[in-house]
Amino acid sequence: MNELDNGPRADGRRQLPLLRPADAEARPSRFKRSGVRSRHLRAHILVAGWAGLALLAATAQSTLPVARWLAVHLFLLGAATTAIVVWTEHFAVAMLHAKLPDQRWSAVRLAGVNLAVAGVLTGVWAELPALTVAACAGLVTAVAAHLFVLVRLGRGALGGRLAPIAAYYRTGTAALIVGAVLGGLLATGAAGAHTHTGLRLAHIHVTLFGWIGLPVLGTLFMLWPTVLGVRMHEATTATARRVLVCAGGGLAVAVTGLAADLRWAAVAGLAAYAAGLALALRLLVATVRRGRGPVSVAAAWSLAASAAWLAAGVAFDLVLLATRSESAAQDGVDALVPLILFGFVAQVLVGALTYLLPVVLSSGPKERAGLRAVLERGWAPRLAALDLAVALLVLPLPGPAATAGTVLAAASALAFLALVVAVLGHRSRPDEPSRTPVLLGTAAAVVVTVLAVLVAGSGGTGGGSDVAAGQPGGGVATTTRTVAVSLGNMRITPSRIEVAEGTALRLDVTNRDAQRHDLKIDGGPATALLSDGQSRTLDLGTITADRKGWCTVPGHRAAGMTLDIVVKGGTGSGATTGTDNTAGMDGMNGMNGMHSGSQGRGDGSTATAPDLAADFSHGWQPRSAALPAAPAATVHKVELHAMRRTVEVAPGVEQEMWTFGGTAPGPTLRGRVGDVFEVTLVNDDPTMGHGIDFHAGSLAPDKPMRTIQPGERLVYRFRAARSGAWLYHCSTMPMLQHIGNGMYGAVIIDPPGLAKAGHEYVLVSSELFLGTPGSTAQVAKMRQNTPDAWMFNGVAAQYDKAPLSVRAGERVRFWVVAAGPNDGIAFHIVGTVFDTVYKEGAYLLRPGGTGGSQALDLSAAQGGFVETVFPEAGHYAFVDHDMRHAEAGAHGVVEVR
């Protein structure tokens, strides 16, 4: 039997019935007693397990943002909640002199609470919102069942002087239901971002001051005199009633005020709570004055210290809420958490368990004293360490002090935990195997396994997806884009970043919020937890696919702190505030920066690859591929105007092109060897300079190929000394953009003695880059060489819609020039064999031999022709036999009749 059931003590002071009064009914059998004991044993193994896991999680909290949340909730929702559920039921039975509820159902409720808590913790940790919601619902159900039992215990029970204390338990349990619902809303973000701060404060207050504070306060009314070994104060019953009205009612008002953002209601409610607390403490202090020698000095000191920290915490909280705005107060309340967690909750657990565990786990006074001696081992240094730690953590001291505080608190908690494990594992009968080895073995293996899992999971998932070094090969320079990202108000701003595929993205992340945030990119880098004003740069490397980012602080992602990085194929930079740094252009002379004036058109149709099967718009005319014979004159005078034109470059797709003479490619010039070309270039483009470079002539580039500014003109005179199919193009840097946007054309110089053909065609192959010319997105596509289409004569798939027409048996010559800017061509005509191949000024194959050719291969800026005779009527496709190109526009049809 324990001393609490002893009835009148030697000095005549009646002790409190902490356990069900054994002599009220039949004396419990040994079996029944041991049943109660094993139930407490199991429950407190759970409590110790949760607390141990909390300590483990706390060691990772500097590196893992969710670890802090986990540590707090493992301790408060795991350890403290389990202890409170067990002891509130236990004490309610004792206070109300009620019948013990069915123990199997008690076990089911406790298991339900623990499973639900495990579910909540796993759900938040592993970011499984469905599990979190289900577990929250489970927790509410289990706790509601507990409340139901507490209420039913009061019905028809004998009641007693301490019956009002059961009301504390009911109120506290109701508070946990509210807290669980609020927590679920926060974790899943169902409440939305604007209410997050208020709901979070409400959640913290209702759980700490309601679920933990009220049952503890109620229990202290009778536990405090018991621990001190004195008679309860006569005013206890009346005071307990009054305190509950003040504190419980005040808390309800405070929580409602916080949730609804009614600051003064919150302050008033909290003030009422503080008043109630003060009343209770006054009674407890009055009780001390009667004492002579406490039953357990260690328990008494721990309980006293915890009550003092609770009072300090409530007072500080009241000042915070009264003097600061809600969002500013939130930061201060966060700082209060260690005070409540270590100073109040941990310490009250230490004090209560030091006294209570020996009572429930022992079967006689001797064993009880032995167990108590174990639990009180080194209590003074442990107590001093814990309270010093709380002071170090709460006071605004430099970093090392807080670290020392954490270490001290952890050491003190660990020491008590070890003692609890020793007590839980002790052998109550000599023949019974001790449980200590099992507990210690399990604990050691769990710790090692958790550490192993942490090590195994460290360093990301591998595969290099988070490494910025994954630049595409071939030395292609990528566009680097830096975007400023701010965190705050439950938003990541901007929440959407559009980049061209292949852009190297860098994020300058700054927290602009009172509370801490971080930013993690899916499968990529993450910032540390950032306090207000702190910044970090995240280097995401080259973006090739959509990425997601979010704040990993529990609940924040669900509340809306998400970031979408979207790969956009088409027009410009959109809504973001990026600074463009087109690395790699810096060394080049010319036009750098002059393109930035052009704005995105926001043309959604360019976001995806052109639909080549679609119809061209009404009235569209194909560019004739037919090549007229060279004029008879030997001097060719041409005026070319550099200008911008918006043209239909693929079925239904318009694109602004930079052109020579209004078309891309520019006009084809044709002559014979020795002819002179006198080209006057006029720059009609009002926004930038242009130049021209004819490959067909040889001369010093300095003057004729110079860039002329808008409105200027130059004369480019060259003699075509050699035959070939030549490219001409704009000579202004960056040429990639000038050629890529359409400034190219062909010069055909016939080789002497060129045979007559039935038909002659010229096909200039090139790549199409959609988007605003010169925009980051478009330039990135050029640099990555990821064109939207390939074209013959400036329009994708145009000769599919408007086939070239010849007769069977006719000799047909196809001149081909590869304008690039990057890709060459493997020109092939399906169903034919070339009997003549002329490439880069030389015949590779002439009719008459037995050999044949299947494709004319040209690198960028090469040219030549092939000849064939179509054998019979039909539809012969001509393609760039690089099939990526053929299937994306480099395709046409020769219709043979």
Partner 1 sequence: MGVGLWSLVRFLHVTGAVLWVGGQLALSLVVLPLSRRTLAADDRDALAARVGRRFGILTAALFLPLQLGTGWAIAWHKGVTWASLGEPGYGRVLATKLGLFALVMLAAAAHGWAHARHRPDLARALAVASLVGSLGVVLLATALPAT
Minimum CB distance to partner 1, residue 418 (Å)? 14
Using an 8 Å Cβ cutoff, are 640 and 680 in contact? yes
* Nearest residue (CB) to partner 1, 121 versus 591: 121
Minimum CB distance to partner 1, residue 447 (Å)? 10
* Nearest residue (CB) to partner 1, 442 versus 624: 442
* 211 DSSP 8-state letter: I
Site membership for partner 1, residue 131 (CB under 8 A) = no
* Nearest residue (CB) to partner 1, 364 versus 441: 441
Choose, by CB under 8 A, the member of 158, 245, 286, 438 that binds partner 1: 438
Enumerate residues 692-751 that contact partner 1 by CB under 8 A.
Answer: none
* Nearest residue (CB) to partner 1, 437 versus 631: 437
Taking the C-alpha atoms of residue 558 and residue 540, their distance in angstroms, rounded to an integer, is 23
Minimum CB distance to partner 1, residue 712 (Å)? 58
Taking the C-alpha atoms of residue 422 and residue 45, their distance in angstroms, rounded to an integer, is 11
Minimum CB distance to partner 1, residue 455 (Å)? 5
Site membership for partner 1, residue 38 (CB under 8 A) = no
Q: Does the annotation flag 881 for ligand binding? A: yes
Using an 8 Å Cβ cutoff, are 5 and 396 in contact? no
Q: Does the annotation flag 517 for ligand binding? A: no
Enumerate residues 415-434 that contact partner 1 by CB under 8 A.
Answer: 433-434
* Nearest residue (CB) to partner 1, 24 versus 448: 448
* Nearest residue (CB) to partner 1, 436 versus 592: 436
Choose, by CB under 8 A, the member of 460, 662, 667, 841 that binds partner 1: 460
* Nearest residue (CB) to partner 1, 395 versus 448: 448
Cis peptide bond prior to 665, omega within 30° of 0 = yes
* Nearest residue (CB) to partner 1, 337 versus 446: 446
Choose, by CB under 8 A, the member of 364, 378, 441, 847 that binds partner 1: 441
Using an 8 Å Cβ cutoff, are 594 and 688 in contact? yes
Q: Is 826 helix (H, G, I), strand (E, B) or coil?
A: strand
Site membership for partner 1, residue 126 (CB under 8 A) = no
Site membership for partner 1, residue 455 (CB under 8 A) = yes
Q: Does the annotation flag 729 for ligand binding? A: yes
Contact segment (CB under 8 A) with partner 1 among 181-189, 450-458, 487-495, 639-647 equals 450-458
The radius of gyration computed from the CA coordinates of the chain, to the nearest angstrom, equals 42
Q: What is the CB neighbour count within 10 angstroms for residue 432? A: 10
Site membership for partner 1, residue 12 (CB under 8 A) = no
Taking the C-alpha atoms of residue 720 and residue 671, their distance in angstroms, rounded to an integer, is 8
Axis crossing angle, helix 347-361 with helix 297-323, rounded to the nearest 10: 150
* 851 DSSP 8-state letter: -
Minimum CB distance to partner 1, residue 75 (Å)? 22
Query: Nearest-CA neighbor of 670 among 708, 626, 707?
Result: 626
Site membership for partner 1, residue 446 (CB under 8 A) = yes
Site membership for partner 1, residue 374 (CB under 8 A) = no
Q: What is the CB neighbour count within 10 angstroms for residue 741? A: 24
Choose, by CB under 8 A, the member of 29, 458, 589, 850 that binds partner 1: 458
Enumerate residues 193-252 that contact partner 1 by CB under 8 A.
Answer: none
* Nearest residue (CB) to partner 1, 378 versus 441: 441
Minimum CB distance to partner 1, residue 545 (Å)? 19
CA 755 to chain centre: 68
Enumerate residues 462-481 that contact partner 1 by CB under 8 A.
Answer: 462-463
Q: Which burial class, exposed, middle or buried, applies to 279 when counting CB atoms under 10 A from its CB (0-12, 13-18, 19+)? A: middle
Q: Is 362 helix (H, G, I), strand (E, B) or coil?
A: coil
Site membership for partner 1, residue 36 (CB under 8 A) = no
Using an 8 Å Cβ cutoff, are 311 and 281 in contact? yes
Residues 6+ apart with CB under 8 A from 192: 559, 560
Axis crossing angle, helix 196-205 with helix 163-188, rounded to the nearest 10: 150
Q: Which helix (H) or strand (E) holds 504?
A: strand 504-511
* Nearest residue (CB) to partner 1, 442 versus 608: 442
Site membership for partner 1, residue 537 (CB under 8 A) = no
Site membership for partner 1, residue 444 (CB under 8 A) = yes
Site membership for partner 1, residue 652 (CB under 8 A) = no
Taking the C-alpha atoms of residue 344 and residue 208, their distance in angstroms, rounded to an integer, is 10
In Å, how far are 39, 363, 396, 434 from 32, measured between CA atoms? Answer: 11, 12, 52, 20
Residues 6+ apart with CB under 8 A from 25: none
Q: Does the annotation flag 194 for ligand binding? A: no
Helix locations, 620-745, DSSP H: 735-740
- Annotated binding-site ranges: 690, 695, 729-730, 738, 743, 881
- Residues of this chain that bind partner 1 (CB under 8 A): 433-434, 436-438, 440-442, 444-446, 448-449, 452-453, 455-463
Annotated binding site for Cu cation: 690, 695, 729-730, 738, 743, 881
